[in-house]
Structure 1
Amino acid sequence: MNSFRKRKVFIVLFLLFTNYLLAGNNEDGSKLWFANFLLPAEYEGPQISSVVVSEESPTFSLIRSELISSLGILFDQEITSMTEPDAGSICVGAIKNDFIAELINPEAFQEIGNEGYIIKYLPEKDMTVVAANTDLGCLYGTYHFLSVLRTNPQELTSTPIIETPAYDRRILNHWDNLDGTVERGYAGHSIWKWDDLPEKLNPRIIEYARANASVGINGTVLNNVNASPDILKEEFLQKVKVVADALRPYGMRVYLSVNFSSPKILGGLPDSDPLKTEVKNWWDNKVQEIYELIPDFGGFLVKANSEGQPGPQDYGRTHADGANMLADVLKPYKGIVMWRAFVYNPSGDDRAKQAYNEFKPLDGKFRSNVLIQVKNGPVDFQPREPFSPLFGAMEQTTLVPELQITKEYLGFSDHLAFLGTLFEEFLDTDTYQKGRNTTIARITNGDIFNDPVTAIAGVANIGQDTNWCGHHFAQANWYVFGRLAWDPGLSARDIAKEWLELTFSQNKRFIHEMSRVMMESREAVVNYMTPLGLHHLMGWSHHYGPEPWCEIPGARPDWLPKYYHKADDFGIGFNRSSTGSNAVEQYAEPLQIMFDDPQLCPDKYLLWFHHLPWDYTMSNGRELWDELCYKYSEGVDQAKLFKATWKNMSKYVDQQRYDEVSKKFDIQVKEAIWWRDACLLYFQTFSEKEIPVELDKPVHQLEKLKQLKFDMTHHN
């Protein structure tokens, strides 16, 4: 593309962004964490009156516009763009620029790579510098500067802020279909609006890119892992190109999910056997076509031989055979393959063991640009799971943690469940695979195994709803994923407070009360849905409400709740100990011994690893049945407390968002009771024990609960 056309495209994109910004209304949640706040009267940070951006590129132009606009709002004054710095200037540029080098010691930039940055206040000159090796690093530094300016401005004038991301590729996975629907999405239809492309770009895509850049997310998979081959047709690649062009100035690469049978379906080949030359040639030509349109294309995400999706095993080949073939055709362009480990077959073996059993023997057999993408737990995005034992077990293969930002099993967009605590719990978990302190974060970010390229993925919760995520507080899960992908050492509590300040209010009482709600919210959901290691009690197909009794004639056993809870007259829980499926064997010591012994196993995983009698004595002295009752009741009480807390927040929040969140809490409390009653009444038919007299009794009848039918269309 010639320079004139580049400028023309950028001007169009910037006008779209500006129009979107001006049309936005923070009270409806459309502004995300870019609320139009003035700095408080007690503000003690650098005074900014002008912006100096030392270089030119589409990204540097964005930086200049962002600073002028955002600082003008914050300081409630006109911010000027200057070519020479003065007192009150913020200066942004690459370290190679002589002007920036004079202000910042170049030696400070040796370790920050292409995306890191330094923010430094120079008191003797009364100016602030944001510097990096690249324009993208400067963009990330700019957004961090603006965030700190609003939440903790004293930090800017104390010591220099030097940051670099923990993961190379920080990617959202959209499960968006080409017809505009979103699988497991609860915030409306796809923001891509494929039918409008390539002629018309949804202006919201620009704001989407801005939001991602502000938290350091640098990639997006545009389409569902249950991929339609049509995404690789020339007409769709032209649409993808327009989206990629829009995202590029914000540092975001585009990736695509691909159907492994595309050569057969689109190319008319007899099959898609990865070891056949004609199949590889088809992919080679297709990849060349993609990179001619999108020179910075990131690569492919592949779901293969899982839940009916085609894959190399259809031809007697291995996952390594399929992944390596794609990796070889992408390698000349520096593209990667993210091959999902979410595989399980309708066999008699424990579903929780199957990914490990399939992939562990292939360790060391994948190309260096193949990354195996592994869900945080061994089953499927449950409210709580132990970590997948693949983490740490595959020492010669790069693993990508896959986290779900959308809440498929945690109440969709109806329940408040801040997932920062889930992400933090997972990333901080010690696998002990290489001794102490081999946490999942260190295993996957290159600290332990020195992987050539690292990545982390989050299944996006974004749709066309005005507030983006279906629930105002669900925006926080997108935000916290980006922040932890940049730095997994951050505190979920600190991120929650930061998000609240940026999004709602800087009132200290509001932040204290609502950050407490956020930090307790995921645990509450676990309590009223699946306490003590129970899992997959959700209804058939929709995964929303409780159906522990669910039976579907002809359905696979491992898609039904009874496969997991195994409640009977004796007790409840899935025996994965050495006397059962022996899933504990897949973990390193001392976890294996701990999980194998119910006396040592943490209560939160007890029924995940053990089938125990109803009168089993818990560590707190209660019988198992009574503890279940207490946990379910505790979850309901927590939901009620959240609702009551929010009721007292009206003075700190605009009316529209206050009312909309209030309605969500009404739903959450009602459905927490639904969950408690359905599970306890059903399990009581096996335990034949009474609910402790001090606890609230069910308000529903079991037979009536069994007759409820969930309307999925209401949640799409």
Structure 2
Amino acid sequence: MHKYRLILALLAASLCYTTLSYAEDGYRLWLRYEPIENEAIAASYRDAIGPVFAEAKSKTAKIAIDELDRGLNGLLGTNRSSLPPHLLVGTPQTAHIKELGLDLSELGDEGYLLTRHGDNTVIAANTDQGVLYGVFAFLRHLQTQSPLQDLQVASAPKIDHRLLNHWDNLTRTIERTMVGASIFNWFDLPYYIEPYYHDYARACASVGINGTVLTNVNANATVLRPQFLEKVKALADTFRPYGIRVYLTARFSAPVEIGGLDTADPLDPAVIKWWNDKIDEIYTYVPDFGGFVVKANSEGQPGPQAYGRDHADGANLLARALAPHDGIVMWRAFVYDFEIKEDRHKQAYTEFTALDGRFEPNVSIQTKNGAIDFMPREPFHPLFGATPDTPHTLELQITQEYLGGDIHLVYLAPMWKETLESDTFAKGAGSTVAKIVDGSVFDHELTAIAGVANIGNERNWTGHPMAASNWYAFGRLAWDHQISSEQIADEWTRMTFGNDDSTVAIITKILLGSHQTVVDSSMPLGLHHIMYPGHHYGPGPWHDQGRPDWTSTYYHKASSDGIGFDRTENGSDALGQYAPEVVEKWRSPETIEDKFLLWFHHLDWDYKMKSGNTLWNELCLTYQDGVDRVAEMGKQWANLQGAVDDQRHARVTALLNRQLEDAKFYMDACLAYFQTFSQRPFPESIDAPEYPLEYYKSFELYHVPGHPGEQW
């Protein structure tokens, strides 16, 4: 009897495991390839596609054809066969593409053409890498149920180097993210290649990401030792067929820490030789190594200034050693010094404009979207357009360091588009940040964009089921910065949750409004850097201890006479670093957009806003509106019960409930604090803070994931 009970228990456990293994847990991201339920659409695709004719002579070509098989089998229940082909796939080196006489001259090495040619549907490119991108684009076309009758898509990337920056440590902790441990299992490498490395590479390739920086910008020199270079090689070999080159972060003091030298002076001959030898060694392991990202003389990281040298000296040391191997240096502009009494907003501009023209051709200044530090909203960095002889790598943060971690629902494409479309006026109107970065304004050949990854070893990769939209959006914008936030949201939603129009409408509405919602419920009207110190999760406008440029009071400058940082000519004159056309618009509170108001202006609490409200009332009402819209997101999501699978619906519901509590806490804490200066009553239409100020000031969160000061 006991034997049978054991058998029944094992069967039950097996059935339970089987059920769980098929649950929609988010692992497949936007590459789900679920069967198309509309049979009319599916039939039209089968007629237009038919069997596939392709040749796989390289690893990349095989991956492309395998992906096509996977996608067509999942979406249409069909596969390649020996019947006459209707879907032709390949390059001009294959006879079935060559005989079509297609013009692929504008596509370069990575672009692709999707077209109809007589009775055939064609995926063509100049290289197998382009074919892979074309296959993913074609499957995206099918997943979003777009028509094939007049298919004509020719696409090539506007930016050459499109990278994820992983802030991952060799210990597998990740700085500034809440999605578990690093996906890079350094201890097991190179002996075991995790199967999910291939799925990571597939996801990156599907949106055109072609580089990955494996290590944290707060670098560890250990990764440059031979024992780790063989691990880097294993990852590089895995990612290469997907078109992904690996990069590392270089710790400037490595010659001292692991090289046995007594100096890291970039002009010292022994140091120069050490880096030349080390970089030559790296290329013996990884022949297509991409190069280095460097954080130097910033937040405690070592750099050339310790030896009386400047950033150009440091960057050029590495660039000259990398140049024979076609490697590049992305030298971060995120530098500031609390000993310098200049507004932190100004310091990177001051530092790097003075060095313009001194960098080697394979150096790019890696510049954040704004001048402070990935705030929920920032005006574009004044460095864009200010160094005509030096290219810029635009650095965006996909992980949500100051936007509720990976706990809050925030779709970041609208924020990134705001930066990309900002006009620098560097060479007249139309000199947008996007055109600075893609090289078209100053004819720069080196073009790059980087996104700080939001990926960890959570089963769904990004923690919040909706946060994968930002990984996807970064890749799409890195490939083509002209794509709209709306198009990206629509694509991702259809690929991730299906094509039901009412479901898509609700989810895209939530996504497109989410960034403004989170700005308004945390740091509205141009307020910035008022988060909790250390882990940055939650409010801390009262923080005033330690170095001034790490405090909140340094930035909001709240007092009895008002709030905001005066960056006009009457204050720090950081505004003067922008073009005259920008200065003219932003110098006056009457003409600047409200979203940047307190970034550039210190105003009285009774200042009359464009809405007719006083500044104090507008601040209170904006916070309340942000909280109310978080609540509305929850209601909209609740309406999707039954339309979205239970597992993902439940997880997003729980996270939205927490986000609402967090938003209310943020509003209450900030308004309770700022009222001590404004001495004005709260508008009757808002919910006044629930507790006294001391409650919010004394509240602690412990062991917050992603906090570099804690091990968890």
Q: TM-score range by the shorter chain?
A: over 0.9
- For 1:333, the equivalent position in structure 2 comes to 325
Q: Determine helix, strand or coil for the equivalent of 1:372.
A: strand
> Matched residues in 1 for 2:410 and 2:638: separation?
18
* Structure 2 match to 1:469: 462
Q: Secondary structure at the match of 2:384?
A: helix
Write out the 4+ residue segments of structure 1 that deviate beyond 4 Å after TM superposition: 22-26
Q: 2:487 and 2:642 mapped to 1: Cα distance?
A: 23
d(CA) in 1 for partners of 2:54 and 2:60? 11
Distance in 1 separating the partners of 2:306 and 2:52: 59
Query: Which of the residues 530, 533, 540 maps onto 1:547?
Result: 540
Distance, in Å, in 1 between the alignment partners of 2:101 and 2:592 is: 53
Whether 1:455 and 2:448 are equivalent positions in the alignment is yes
Please report how far the alpha carbon of residue 153 of structure 1 lies from its aligned counterpart in structure 2 after TM superposition.
2.8
Structure 1 residue 152: deviation in Å? 3.8
Contact 1:54-1:91 within 8 A present in 2 as well: no
Matches within 5 A, 1:500-649: 500-552=493-545, 555-649=546-640
Q: 1:235 to 1:620 in 2, by over 3 A?
A: same
1:498 aligns with 2:496: no
C-alpha distance 226-195 of structure 1, shift in aligned 2 (>3 A): same
In structure 1, the residue matched to 2:662 is 671
Q: Contact 1:532 / 1:628 at 8 angstroms: preserved in 2?
A: yes
Question: Is the 1:68–1:81 Cα contact (8 Å) retained in structure 2?
Answer: no
Which residue of 1 is the match for residue 272 of structure 2? Answer: 280
1:220-242 CA distances to partner (integer Å, 9 max, x unpaired)? 00000000000100000000000
- List per-residue Cα deviations over 1:175-230 (Å, max 9, x = no partner): 00000100012111000111111111221111000000000000000000000000
Among candidates 35, 38, 41, match of residue 38 of structure 1: 35
| RMSD of aligned Cα (Å) | 1.4
Distance 1:389 1:86 in 2: 58
Which string of whole-angstrom CA distances, capped at 9 and with x for unpartnered residues, describes residues 548-603 of structure 1? Answer: 11233xx1111111110110010000111100000011000211122221121111
Q: 1:295 aligns with which of 262, 279, 287?
A: 287
Do structure 1's residue 707 and structure 2's residue 689 form an aligned pair? no
1:412 and 2:405 are equivalent in the alignment: yes
| Bigger shift: residues 166-175 or 192-201 | 192-201
What is the one-letter code of the residue matched to 1:113? G
Gaps of 5+ in 2: 1-18, 707-711
Residue among 300, 322, 329 paired with 2:314: 322
Q: Quick one: which amino acid aligns to residue 96 of structure 1? A: Q
Q: Which residue of 2 aligns with 1:17?
A: none
CA distance in 1, matches of 2:607, 2:376: 24
CA distance in 2, matches of 1:690, 1:95: 73
Which residue identity lines up with residue 602 of structure 1 in the other structure?
E
Partner SS state of residue 261, structure 2: coil
1:4-43 matches, cutoff 5 A: 25=22, 27-39=24-36, 40-43=38-41
CA distance in 1, matches of 2:180, 2:458: 5
CA deviation after TM superposition for structure 1 residue 714, in Å? 5.5
> 1:641-699, CA deviations, whole angstroms, 9 ceiling, x for partnerless residues?
00000000012111010100000000011111001101111000100001111222222
Offset of residue 701 of structure 1: 2.6
Query: Take 2:255 and 2:476, find their aligned partners in 1: how far apart are those partners?
Result: 38
SS in structure 2 opposite 1:410?
coil
Gaps of at least 5 residues in structure 1 are 1-21
Contact 1:370 1:398 in 2 (8 A): yes
Kept after mapping to 2: 8 A contact 1:209/1:250: yes
**C-alpha distance after superposition, 1:261-295 (max 9, x if no partner):** 11111111110111111111111111111111111
Shift of 1:46: 5.2
Partner of 2:192: 200
Task: Output the CA distance in 2 between the equivalents of 1:610 and 1:175.
Answer: 34
Conserved 8 A contact 2:395-2:451: yes
For 1:145, the equivalent position in structure 2 comes to 138
Tell me what 2:431 maps to. 438
Question: Per-residue deviation at 1:450?
Answer: 1.5
The residue number in structure 2 matching 1:217 is: 209
Query: Are the counterparts in 2 of residues 445 and 455 from structure 1 also a CA contact under 8 Å?
Result: yes
SS in 2 for 1:254: strand
Match for 1:100: what amino acid?
I
For residue 182 of structure 2, the aligned residue among 164, 168, 190 is 190
1:180 alignment partner in structure 2: 172
The residue type paired with residue 88 of structure 2 is: C
Distance 2:503 2:702 in 1: 35
SS in 2 for 1:112: coil
Deviation at 1:103, TM superposition (A): 2.1
Find the aligned partners of 1:330 and 1:31 in 2 and give their Cα distance.
37
Q: Distance in 2 between matches of 1:463 and 1:178?
A: 14
CA pair 280-352 structure 1, distance change in 2 beyond 3 A: same
What is the Cα deviation at residue 81 of structure 1? Answer: 4.8
C-alpha distance in 2 between matches for 1:691 and 1:458:
40
Selected match of 1:369 from 358, 362, 386:
362
**What is the distance in 2 between the residues matched to 1:159 and 1:153?**
9
Over residues 470-497 of structure 1, what are the superposed CA-to-partner deviations in whole Å (9 max), with x where a residue is unaligned?
Answer: 1000000000000000000001111001
1:312 is matched with: 304
The CA deviation at 1:148 is 0.6
Q: Give me the whole-angstrom Cα distance separating, in 1, the residues matched to 2:503 and 2:146.
A: 19
Write the letter of the residue equivalent to 2:98.
A
Residue number among 669, 672, 683 corresponding to 1:681 in the alignment: 672
Instruction: Describe the shift of the 1:714–1:295 C-alpha distance in structure 2 as closer, same or farther (beyond 3 A).
Output: closer
Identical residues among aligned pairs (%): 48
- Counterpart mapping for 1:41-60 below 5 A: 41-43=39-41, 44-45=44-45, 47=47, 48-60=49-61
1:103 equivalent in structure 2: 100
Contact 1:24 1:31 in 2 (8 A): no
AA matched with 1:151:
T
The two structures have a TM-score, normalised by structure 1, of 0.94
Alignment of 1:92-131 (within 5 A): 92-105=89-102, 108-122=103-117, 124-125=118-119, 127-131=120-124
Match of 1:3 in 2: none
Q: Tell whether the 8 Å contact from 1:409 to 1:543 is kept in structure 2 after alignment.
A: yes
Shift of 1:459: 0.2
Aligned residues: 684
SS at structure 2 position matched to 1:183: coil
Distance 1:149 1:104 in 2: 25
| d(CA) in 2 for partners of 1:414, 1:481 | 19
Deviation at 1:98, TM superposition (A): 3.1
- Looking at structure 2, the residues matched to 46 and 150 of structure 1 have their Cα atoms a distance apart, in angstroms, of 14
**AA partner of residue 53 (structure 2):** V
Q: Which residue of 2 aligns with 1:73?
A: 74
Q: Corresponding residue for 1:4?
A: none
The separation in 2 between residues aligned to 1:593 and 1:207, in whole angstroms, is 49
Q: Which amino acid aligns with 2:647?
A: Q
Superimposed CA distance per residue, residues 296-353 of structure 1 (whole angstroms, 9 cap, x where no aligned partner): 1100110000001011111111100110111000000000000000000002210010
Distance 1:114 1:61 in 2: 18
Equivalent in the alignment of 2:249: 257
CA contact (8 A) 1:678 1:702 kept: yes
Q: Within 1, Cα distance between the matches of 2:208 and 2:238?
A: 17
Comparing 91-100 and 402-411, the one that deviates more: 91-100
Q: Check the 8 A contact 1:169/1:456 in 2, yes or no.
A: yes
Shift of the 202–382 alpha-carbon distance from structure 1 to 2, 3 Å rule, reads same
Q: Any residues of structure 2 matched to 1:387-426 within 5 Å, and which?
A: 387-426=380-419
Shift of 1:23: 11
